Structure 1
């Protein structure tokens, strides 16, 4: 009897295993196997970040990136094209040398800010000064202003520490840590009040200094991490603006404050290239049954150029390219058309994706789903329903097909709420189209890599990016195969507690198609 029961259990277990094996989707299995055993992510990342480099809108490097992506897609048998959406100020970064020549010689770590005019190969040499400490009012500031003529002006606050807070928290006494924070808060408040007494703010004071005859502007936009600064664009039209890393900036500030009169030589070469066309790169695998319905894999292609744009948004770009490669190889005839949208000028206001939405109403109308990735190198940990009432029904169906070792890290929120901005999926959401953000673990993104001089290839976590490519490819496959068209029914948005009024769905905004003017 025991033997009969034992054999029955074995047979039952075998049948269950058989049923489960039959339930496995060979396309999904092939995608997972290929992604894990023959990933192209490292090569894509190397070519994009190391060879092409940063992708500032209006630069030759941005155009090189579009052309590279098209050739890469073609090598995988995928049709791809550039779509012009506007024009921008053409500019190309050159060599930057920042050297202290008095009171001693030292090369400093920093860089020219974007779209800044060239100093020429001879550069400029000038004394460094700081803003006055105790500005009485705008009249006294105007009296001081002529003293900037021919000088390099330090316009950022001298930070009291170059150690990030987590380092203080680990090693300092509780009393010392609190003392540092209190003193820093007081210093920051005093700095802001001092600037406001000039009659300007930290941005509007820069062209005033230029107009007064300053030889150049020196800033330090510290990002609260070791050796890391935010790098954006210049606000001067004729004189150099450079950003120095905190350590060198603080040294200059102390030297100037103590009367040791530092002097710098700055060579910041760049080229003005006139008005240049700007593009999106669009890759497409045509649908075999419902070609007028679409899945879009979305990531912005442009970056700031302090680093090489590795995690903002090189990793999102890599995910979408690898997902398209996997789909083409193991799902070459999708039911619906699958598009990869590599958008230009996200950093200046979602311009590329907003232009695509305006230029392709038929795609927006036929959109089954859009998946966007744009916040660092980490594994996806959050997916929201975006404010669509029935998003649970289809997103949960699609996610069910994704391996558990990926989905176990993902927290879902249904129905969620619509995003008003932040990344390119918002351009589609504003038109009521089902667009979803694949939000990832940040890996110190906000301090260390977001818009910084440290956003480089070595910060990529390839295991996490590989998981994201698998996730994206399977979601695209499931969305394409789904027998139903996704519902666009929206939730009733809640009351805004600040205004007492009901929140409204985001409204579409037009792109800036003629940007970067000096």
Structure 2
């Protein structure tokens, strides 16, 4: 912050952003809440830094988080601002609570010709700038970022199997994603999901529970900024997509399990599968109430949607997930061992029963 007083701001560059010049960009800040407010400013945005100050509502036990509604400004705000002639874009971090921590994440320029630097501010700093602007103060910021694009590199998915005893060619996938943002440890996003998936199979092996079908653990690479691991998995296994009975993703943090969401393009299959899943959920009563609901699944397994695979996502108590998400705070000490254990148990039970049922999921 340069005007109306000098102060450092808590900031993280967004994934995919271009850099600023070496001495940064110094410009006046205009604050908007959404696209309509941006459009209303017209030419007043030109040569300014746009701050999208769009608050994320608190977590709701019924609705869950409002991530999908809020993250759009992180993803596309720079393109919107650039189209209006802005020189840089700032966004309010996508979180409902903060201890002055910035939260990064992927952004995209789309097909826009102008690429301007984009960064996330902590809630506290975004609010401070918004208050100053609301009082008619001229707010000037110097933004310095050293981002660079080092191009594509080779990576790999990690795949392991517990082979089925009767129908080994039929597959139930469970997994999470290996990559995380460079801040924090990626403990909740998505180290926890990877651990759950691996340990679920370890539990079954130790108990000598070999299901009828194969349970395949897939740890996807490059979820955060491209989904190339998931795309490659579907391409490499195109010949066996028809034998994928289900795919379950754990990418919501290592918290207390609350149920599973599911989706399937075949409505008849989805309805039959929902009845089966509700019966399976009763087997987990010791973990607490388990809700089965029609909804999303996961970004990685979602690449199998068009192939007709029955998709699922582990749901957890995500009331604190976005406190840490994509920030320096996503470290191992934030993971409760008991909650991680319970979530792993839920994954193990669901994967085993789906893999061991006489009939395929959704075909009763």
TM-score, normalising length from structure 1? 0.53
2:278 is aligned with 1:377: no
**Alignment partner for residue 11 of structure 2, among 98, 102, 110?**
110
What aligned pairs does 1:131-150 form with structure 2 within 5 A after superposition? Answer: 141-142=42-43, 144=44, 148=47
2:198 is aligned with 1:321: yes
Q: Secondary structure of the equivalent of 1:276?
A: coil
User: How many Å apart are 1:322 and its aligned residue?
Assistant: 1.8
**Alignment partner for residue 231 of structure 1, among 95, 101, 104?**
104
User: Which consecutive unaligned segments of at least 5 residues does structure 2 have?
Assistant: 60-75, 264-268
Counterpart position of 1:431: 307
User: How many Å apart are 1:297 and its aligned residue?
Assistant: 1.3
Matches of 1:338 and 1:138 in 2, distance apart?
Answer: 51
**Alignment partner for residue 286 of structure 2, among 377, 382, 405?**
405
2:360 is aligned with 1:486: yes
2:28 is aligned with 1:128: yes
Q: Secondary structure of the equivalent of 2:170?
A: strand
The CA RMSD measured in Å over matched residues stands at: 4.3
Matches of 1:487 and 1:253 in 2, distance apart?
Answer: 51
Q: Secondary structure of the equivalent of 2:196?
A: helix
Matches of 2:50 and 2:272 in 1, distance apart?
Answer: 54
Q: Secondary structure of the equivalent of 1:111?
A: strand
Q: 1:310 to 1:360 in 2, by over 3 A?
A: same
Matches of 1:137 and 1:374 in 2, distance apart?
Answer: 33
User: How many Å apart are 1:334 and its aligned residue?
Assistant: 5.8
Q: 1:234 to 1:356 in 2, by over 3 A?
A: closer
Counterpart position of 1:356: 233
Counterpart position of 1:280: 157
Asked whether the equivalents of residues 432 and 488 of structure 1 are also in contact (C-alpha less than 8 Å), the reply is no
User: Which consecutive unaligned segments of at least 5 residues does structure 1 have?
Assistant: 1-99, 167-200, 491-518
What aligned pairs does 1:24-35 form with structure 2 within 5 A after superposition? Answer: none
Matches of 1:136 and 1:245 in 2, distance apart?
Answer: 21
Q: Secondary structure of the equivalent of 2:197?
A: helix
Q: 1:154 to 1:476 in 2, by over 3 A?
A: closer
Matches of 1:479 and 1:355 in 2, distance apart?
Answer: 25
Matches of 2:328 and 2:38 in 1, distance apart?
Answer: 36
User: How many Å apart are 1:140 and its aligned residue?
Assistant: 8.4
Counterpart position of 2:62: none
Across the two proteins, how many residue pairs are aligned to each other? Answer: 336
User: How many Å apart are 1:165 and its aligned residue?
Assistant: 6.9
User: How many Å apart are 1:466 and its aligned residue?
Assistant: 0.4
Matches of 1:475 and 1:429 in 2, distance apart?
Answer: 19
Asked whether the equivalents of residues 186 and 330 of structure 2 are also in contact (C-alpha less than 8 Å), the reply is yes
User: How many Å apart are 1:273 and its aligned residue?
Assistant: 0.9
Q: 1:137 to 1:470 in 2, by over 3 A?
A: closer
User: How many Å apart are 1:255 and its aligned residue?
Assistant: 4.8
Decide which moves more: 250-259 or 265-274: 250-259
What aligned pairs does 1:260-339 form with structure 2 within 5 A after superposition? Answer: 263-277=140-154, 279-303=156-180, 308-331=185-208, 336-339=213-216
Decide which moves more: 108-117 or 306-315: 306-315
Counterpart position of 1:38: none
User: How many Å apart are 1:225 and its aligned residue?
Assistant: 2.2
Matches of 1:230 and 1:433 in 2, distance apart?
Answer: 33
Matches of 1:349 and 1:295 in 2, distance apart?
Answer: 24
**Alignment partner for residue 459 of structure 1, among 334, 337, 346?**
334
2:82 is aligned with 1:207: yes
Cα distance per residue 1:25-73 (max 9 Å; x no partner): xxxxxxxxxxxxxxxxxxxxxxxxxxxxxxxxxxxxxxxxxxxxxxxxx
Q: 1:206 to 1:326 in 2, by over 3 A?
A: same
Q: 1:420 to 1:462 in 2, by over 3 A?
A: closer
Matches of 2:248 and 2:276 in 1, distance apart?
Answer: 13
User: How many Å apart are 1:326 and its aligned residue?
Assistant: 2.7
Counterpart position of 1:473: 348
Q: Secondary structure of the equivalent of 1:442?
A: coil
What aligned pairs does 1:58-137 form with structure 2 within 5 A after superposition? Answer: 100-101=1-2, 104-119=5-20, 122-124=22-24, 126-130=26-30
Matches of 1:476 and 1:242 in 2, distance apart?
Answer: 40
Counterpart position of 1:218: 90
**Alignment partner for residue 243 of structure 2, among 363, 366, 383?**
366
User: How many Å apart are 1:266 and its aligned residue?
Assistant: 3.5
